[in-house]
Amino acid sequence: MTAPRTTGKLFGRLSLPERTYVADALRAETVGGVLLLVAAIAALAWANIPGLRDGYESVSHFHLGPGAIGLNLSVAHWAADGLLAIFFFVAGIELKRELVAGDLKDPRAAALPVAAALCGMAAPALVYTLTSSAGGGSLAGWAVPTATDIAFALAVLAVIGTSLPSALRAFLLTLAVVDDLFAILIIAVFFTESLDFAALGGAVAGLAVFWLLLRTGVRGWYVYVPLGLVIWALMYNSGVHATIAGVAMGLMLRCHRHEGEEHSPGERIEHLVRPLSAGLAVPLFALFSAGVSLSGEAMADVFTKPETLGVLLGLVVGKTVGVFGGTWLTARFTRASLSDDLSWPDVFAVATLAGIGFTVSLLIGELAFEGEATMTEEVKAAVLTGSLVAAVLATVLLKIRNAKYRALYEAEERDDDHSGVPDVYEEDDPAYHLRMAAIHEEKAAEHRRIAREKERARLAEVSGGAGEEGGRPA
């Protein structure tokens, strides 16, 4: 027998707690995305303006850190392996929260973002493989176009001023969380060449201590920050990419609330660390990773070399087709229908945003072509170009429907009874209707008062203006 098919609405209204969480998270991501854009533009200017280019190279390749424990790294290396661990720590907390309290907790609700994310990673990898193989290029970069940068995508939305409904924004956020999970697995499985089992064992032991301290209720940043740094250093020296340490620690935090708790420990720590991640770690990584040559020859190579063309088409075509296709397949095989307020072109427009790959794509590009400086720079240029094309395409498509999105957004935000809760969440609450009845009665009383005053003024004008003969004016 076949399993019963579920029914429901795709991109339906979020619950109020989930909507509040998504709004807060996306607000922080949007600010971080704008800083990311600024950092990327600054990097491109620094690396391409004559007279400044040498300074960019000098700073990027300046080494610092204790060499005795294998941590004498360049500034660019510290940004990629060190600062991005903070980014992946936040990603780990987001993933844990989604698994225990968010959309991924319910298998039926999780089906949509998981299917969209999986298809949105498989399709770009396939596009890259076919394109690079056809041109006789390397297959090493197959994973580069598989990642979506949610901060960059939301920054584009902030710049173009599109008020996407909260359900579509939540879909983007959850899609990116699942996307990050599989990107982490790709980094861990495919970009670990050799292992130092002693260092790896030390990192695992450190994580066990981290977990035990959390479970016994030990509190204090002065305990966890030094321990986290030790775990990170051991993970780095083990041969496994150091950002995996950040993810592992993020996943260990408790993200469900106990009775009487307003926020779980994971939510509190995420609230504290996210500004550091979005406002410092990721922009600095962009500053020292996005500084690629934009000469005419370099840009021509993006469209002519099989590897770079594969990255470009993977982001622009593969991501869009994969995310849209995964969403359509979910609707097709679960009998879920699209929300009445949206149409499939809306889903396609949002899917184009997933083609904006930046942070993780740049990181994977460095790992995939490690030791090949020229190819690494060209792949980075392809990531930037593909992200720009996807952003422009998304802007055009979303602008076409912007008036509709704005109307949906305003309806979601409407709070006529001034209760602090949007009206759409109070439609079944009798107290809401009593408050609205009182408001309408107050308005009606005001209108009646105005009508009486106007009527008295009209009668006074008629009686005061009567003439002496036949009622004619004097």
Q: Per-residue pLDDT for 211 more than 80?
A: yes
Confidence class for position 264, pLDDT limits 50, 70, 90? confident
DSSP 256-293: SPPTT-SS-HHHHHHHHHHHHIIIIIHHHHHHHHS---
Across the range 183-192, mean pLDDT stands at 83
* Number of residues that this document lists for the chain: 474
Most confident of 183-192, 234-243, 434-443: 234-243
Q: Per-residue pLDDT for 7 more than 50?
A: no
Confidence class for position 332, pLDDT limits 50, 70, 90? confident
pLDDT in tens, 340-356: 667 788 889 889 989 99
Q: Tell me which of 265 and 334 has the higher pLDDT.
A: 265
Taking the C-alpha atoms of residue 343 and residue 350, their distance in angstroms, rounded to an integer, is 11
Across the range 4-30, mean pLDDT stands at 59
Confidence class for position 1, pLDDT limits 50, 70, 90? very low
Read off the amino acid at residue 262.
Answer: E
**Sole residue written with tokens 């533009």:** 41
Q: Tell me which of 165 and 399 has the higher pLDDT.
A: 399
Question: What φ, ψ does residue 62 adopt, rounded to 5°?
Answer: -70, 130
| Res 4: pLDDT | 36
| Res 227: pLDDT | 95
Which of 122-126, 169-173, 382-386, 422-426 has the weakest average pLDDT? 422-426
74-200-183 Cα angle (round to 5): 70
Q: Per-residue pLDDT for 189 more than 50?
A: yes
Q: Tell me which of 27 and 7 has the higher pLDDT.
A: 27
Taking the C-alpha atoms of residue 375 and residue 98, their distance in angstroms, rounded to an integer, is 37
Q: Per-residue pLDDT for 16 more than 70?
A: no
| Contacts made by residues 328-333, CB under 8 angstroms, sequence distance 24+ | 329/115, 329/119, 330/10, 330/111, 330/112, 330/115, 330/116, 331/10, 333/5
- Going from the C-alpha of 391 to that of each of 104, 151, 153, 158, 191, the distances in angstroms are 27, 12, 8, 12, 29
**Residue 365's beta-bridge partner residues?**
none
| Res 3: pLDDT | 37
Confidence class for position 239, pLDDT limits 50, 70, 90? confident
Q: Per-residue pLDDT for 460 more than 80?
A: yes
Average pLDDT, the chain: 83
- Going from the C-alpha of 468 to that of each of 310, 461, 462, 465, 474, the distances in angstroms are 96, 16, 14, 10, 6
Tokens of 111: 């089906």
Q: Per-residue pLDDT for 252 more than 90?
A: yes
